[in-house]
Amino acid sequence: MKFECVLYHAKKGIAEIRLNRPDRLNAVTEQLYDDVLGALDVAEHDSAIRVIVLTGEGRAFCAGADLKEHAAGERSDFQKRLYLIKANDVCERLRKVSKPVIAAVNGYAVGAGAEMAVSSDFIVMKESAKMWFPEISIGTFVGGGISHVLPQLVGITKARELIMTGRHIAGPEAVAMNLAVRSISDDQFEQGVEEFAAEIAAKAPLSLRLAKQSLNTACSTPYEAALAIELEGIRACMATKDWQEGIDAFTEKRAPVFKGE
């Protein structure tokens, strides 16, 4: 599958979406956003894909908005609004795509790049990678639902600090504050991401989808409603062949082989 601004590769149940504007540190444009949305659609509708990895080509994950294009001043107010809506659409799609998304932050994740990473289900960072939110420092504001999602990850006090100061965070500190789940040495990064993605890809697809949906709405779901959702989720799983495979594998003391059926 070919796109103008992203590279798409699928292997062993893992779809990799690699932002591909390395000469601009993968800064976002309308076309890049369109391509990410298109690649997510491909992965969503491919039954062989269990996990999606979002990463960047070159030395950056994503350096945020392409300020060179902004500085050109060629967009009308209407076009600016469409651009911002598209940015929101990408972050929302990362949250709502039915398959787990791992943001593999291989370098700078700034502004819109940090927003895409935070909108993913997991962040895995190189130890040397840096993430920050510069928006307030340059007279604008965060987008992509970050003022809603970030406090759920790191707490309201830390979210205030990160958004209001624009402080840079490296991989180890991101893990310490529960923003990232892994900080991997630079020379082991690609292997570490692949192993983490493979670990998740080995799980039952329906169970993964239910877990993502439930956890992403956990903060707004009353306890009694969560009980009902979980009950129906278990009943749905029990009607699948994967449920029986899980039981058989446990009984036979082997790793299960789930087929999404």
Residues with catalytic roles: 115, 135
First-residue to last-residue Cα distance in the chain? 26
Residues 207, 237: contact at Cβ < 8 Å?
yes
Strand partners, 102: 53, 122
Give how far the C-alpha of residue 160 lies from the chain's centroid of Cα atoms, to the nearest Å. 22
Q: Which of 59, 161, 156 is nearest to 113 (CA)?
A: 59
Alpha-carbon span 210 to 235, nearest angstrom: 12
